[in-house]
Amino acid sequence: MKKKLFTLFIALFATAAHADFSTRAKSAFLIDYDSGAEIVAKNADTLMPPSSMIKLMTLVVLFDEIQAGRLTMDDRLPVSENADYNNPTWYPASKICLVAGQTITVRDLILGLIVLSGGDASVVVAEKLAGSENAFTQMMTTKARSIGMPQSTFGNASGLPNPNNLMTSRELATLANHIITDYPDIYPMFATKRFEFNEHKSDWCRDWGRTHTMNYNKLVFTMPGADGLKTGHTDDGGYGMVASSVVGGRRLIGVINGLHTKGHDALAAEMKKLLEYGYTNTTNRVFYRAGDKIAKIPVWYGRQPVVIATVDKTFAITLPRSKSNAKIRLLARYDDPIPAPINAGDVVGELIAEVDGRIVSRTPLIAMDRVPKVQFIGRIIKNIQVIFGGK
């Protein structure tokens, strides 16, 4: 058995993306969704209060319950006194305006969190799934670690000021990527521009609700292709936003935090500037998409002589538009042959992109189909063929 390096593609030209974006925000981060390339990174690994952007993690824990079949969109969850609008906690905070004793559908909770940034909704979710908001923060932490967020810590489910509410812009982008990728049926809800809750149980809430229906994320109103995700604001921490947009078939994910500005319109303008910087100054070169046939790899003791290798996600490289002076090689690396049995989805090698001899991107090659192992007699025949010069 030998390690084989198969050159698939040669003589593209590019340079690594260079970020010279200027912003007054304390932190900014911009990545390409397909390639994962960093386009802008300003204090991207600095822990900062995420304010209401933390509700994205609350939603992810809820989405997992829906995907697992333990909750449906039409299930109704109870509202406790902790989520009651009369609780002083919610006087200055964003909310749906709920009353203790009522129930609310999971669908309305999700829309209330996304559109109205309902802190009361986050408490309803936390108490349903974990019994208490404090216990729910452990679920948030466990989920964060499982999707590659090692630094984030959580003190509550709403993002109200708490010393344990800390996240980095990089990890907020990781969270957004996870939402877009892993919940494709739910993600379109993040583009909702207006949500009018029609089950208010008090006259005050009904009056309040008439003037609180529009999404705080003003980017979905002002930038074609913008489809999420979440804003946040505290007096001390300033404004923040996790956003994503698709322009010309290309998705970018941007994060801004610690922007002291006049309001959500100004925040959206700053995020639009960040995203447009990415589209204007960089472009993508997509090599393969999930399911594309990339290589035929010989199999030892297999009932089929080869296994087809593919990738489970788009393999792309992000390039600056203005420069083209570095050679790119695209390589597939694998053992030749690889031993059976092989199951569909098994890692059988890796796909590598090099720029001037430096690896800039890599992803596993996976088997498209199952290749069983031949029985004992078949292995004997194979050995005899090898002894006498066969293959």
pLDDT at 21 over 50: yes
What pLDDT does 78 receive? 98
Question: Cα dihedral sign for 291, 295, 299, 302?
Answer: positive
The CA distance from 352 to 362, in Å, is 4
What pLDDT does 237 receive? 87
What pLDDT does 285 receive? 86
What pLDDT does 32 receive? 96
What's the rounded mean pLDDT across residues 318-331? 77
What pLDDT does 15 receive? 37
Give the model confidence (pLDDT) of 79-116 as tens digits: 999 999 999 998 889 999 999 999 999 999 999 999 99
The rounded mean pLDDT for the chain is 90
Is the pTM value of this prediction over 0.85? yes
pLDDT at 60 over 90: yes
Residue indicated by tokens 């909310």: 95
Alpha helices in the chain (DSSP H): 55-67, 106-114, 119-130, 133-146, 169-182, 203-210, 219-222, 264-281, 376-387
With cut-offs at 50, 70 and 90, classify the pLDDT of residue 327.
confident
pLDDT at 141 over 60: yes
The CA distance from 138 to 143, in Å, is 9
The CA distance from 215 to 192, in Å, is 7
Which pair of structure tokens corresponds to residue 336? Answer: 């030749």
Give the model confidence (pLDDT) of 149-206 as tens digits: 999 999 999 999 999 999 999 999 999 999 999 999 999 999 999 999 999 999 999 9
Q: Is 116 in contact with 210 (CB distance < 8 Å)?
A: no
Sequence-ordered list of residues with C-beta below 8 angstroms from that of 218, at least 6 positions apart, any chain: 264, 265, 267, 268
pLDDT at 272 over 50: yes
What pLDDT does 376 receive? 58
Q: Which residue has the higher pLDDT, 18 or 263?
A: 263
What pLDDT does 230 receive? 98
The CA distance from 189 to 270, in Å, is 23
